[in-house]
Structure 1
Amino acid sequence: MVNIAIFVSGSGSNCENIIRYFSNRNDVNIKLVISNRADAYALVRAKNLNVESVVIPKSDFGKQTEVLNLLRNHEINFIVLAGFLLMIPDWLINAYPRRMINLHPALLPKFGGKGMYGHHVHEAVKAAGETETGMTVHWVSNVCDGGEIIEQFRTPLTPNDTPDTIADKEHVLEMEHFPQIIERVLQAEKLI
């Protein structure tokens, strides 16, 4: 059994999608949702789906012993970042080598790095006149959005697309593919 913690900062649509995808499995357990924001709607989604959630404010996220103890007490052996907007400290990356993945709403290495999250990404894609966008799932490293790419999915764009329609098109990819990518990673890493 693999116990997964999902780290979130916002509305949690991917979080809910992942919880639902694995809800009837006996080899994968979404055991914990962690948010750095107490007002993240993802916490409501987790509660509605009977998944425990914890808020660790940004000011407390650097407390290595407390965070690692929380994860160990819940027997977490894999972490999924699904719209988590804080940099992951090296000590946490080292504690979960090849056990932590991130979803980025663009085709890395383009439109990644500091400040490239949420709507900022889609605005940058539009400003660059890109003809396609997509999603990237990658291993978490100590370089923002710089970890080894696991999988990418693409969708075409038109000159008429706005940042909002770009976001909508990319989000469709996330809903369709992210849980399946997680499952494939767990299989490839022989965790299930």
Structure 2
Amino acid sequence: MHQIIVFASGSGTNAENLIKHFSSNPLAKVAAVFCNRPDAGVIPKAEALEVPVFVFSKAMLQDGTVFDEVKKYHPDLIVLAGFLLKFPDEIIRNYPDKIINIHPALLPKYGGKGMYGMHVHRAVYDNKETETGISVHYVNEHYDEGGLIFQQKVIVGDCASADEIAARIHELEQEYFPKVIEQVLNLKS
């Protein structure tokens, strides 16, 4: 069975969805959630589903302490699900093509440092885009520049706010992210 580690910084809806999806899936399980914010909503969600949580600081991410903890789980895949810090080069080097991220836009549009969550949705809305979507990509040393694995579009020209766009993106994330992770793991089998 494949071991998945999820890194998250926020409310944890994508992490929760992944934990539930893989709890009855013989292919893989979410072995742990790593979080850099002690007040993040993902922590009680993971704990309620009996998944261990490791809370760390930015300094622990940069000095390698987090990497030492990651190694204990022997992950086949590291999934960034709303994780906002830049991932250390050391972990990227040690897990080539084993770290993926979901981004709430059709990369390369609306990617890069500072482009996450509502910042993306507001930019899409302010620029009067008629469509946007999600991108799942491999993580490399640059924000949102790793190789694309999957994209799914949604029409948003009729949305009256960035919040409406966010809701449509959230639906795509919930539906497609677990399926894409399964595909990635099947390729590694």
Q: TM-score range by the shorter chain?
A: over 0.9
Q: 1:47, CA displacement in angstroms?
A: 0.3
How far apart in 2 are the matches of 1:186 and 1:165? Answer: 32
Provide TM-score, normalisation by structure 2.
Answer: 0.97
| Greater mean deviation of Cα atoms: 109-118 or 150-159 | 150-159
How far apart in 2 are the matches of 1:107 and 1:180? Answer: 18
Give the equivalent residue in structure 2 for 1:70: 69
- Let me know the Cα RMSD of the aligned residues: 1.0
Structure 1 residues without counterparts, runs of 5 or longer: none
How far apart in 2 are the matches of 1:129 and 1:177? Answer: 25
Q: 1:161, CA displacement in angstroms?
A: 2.7
Question: Aligned ranges for residues 28-107 of structure 1 at < 5 Å?
Answer: 28-64=28-64, 66-107=65-106
Native 8 Å contact 1:123 1:163 kept in 2: yes
How far apart in 2 are the matches of 1:118 and 1:72? Answer: 29
Q: Percent identity?
A: 44
Give the equivalent residue in structure 1 for 2:164: 165
How far apart in 2 are the matches of 1:180 and 1:145? Answer: 20
Give the equivalent residue in structure 2 for 1:136: 135
Q: 1:159, CA displacement in angstroms?
A: 4.5
Q: 1:60, CA displacement in angstroms?
A: 1.6
Is the partner of 2:62 in helix, strand or coil? coil
Number of positions where the alignment pairs a residue of Structure 1 with one of Structure 2? 189
How far apart in 2 are the matches of 1:169 and 1:68? Answer: 34
Provide TM-score, normalisation by structure 1.
Answer: 0.95
How far apart in 2 are the matches of 1:179 and 1:11? Answer: 17
Give the equivalent residue in structure 1 for 2:17: 17
Q: 1:91, CA displacement in angstroms?
A: 0.6
Q: 1:73, CA displacement in angstroms?
A: 1.5
How far apart in 2 are the matches of 1:142 and 1:117? Answer: 17
Native 8 Å contact 2:7 2:79 kept in 1: yes
- Structure 1 residues 75 and 128: alpha-carbon distance in aligned structure 2, compared to 1, 3 A threshold: same
How far apart in 1 are the matches of 2:186 and 2:35? Answer: 26
Q: 1:74, CA displacement in angstroms?
A: 2.1
Native 8 Å contact 1:93 1:100 kept in 2: yes
How far apart in 2 are the matches of 1:159 and 1:135? Answer: 18
Native 8 Å contact 1:129 1:159 kept in 2: no
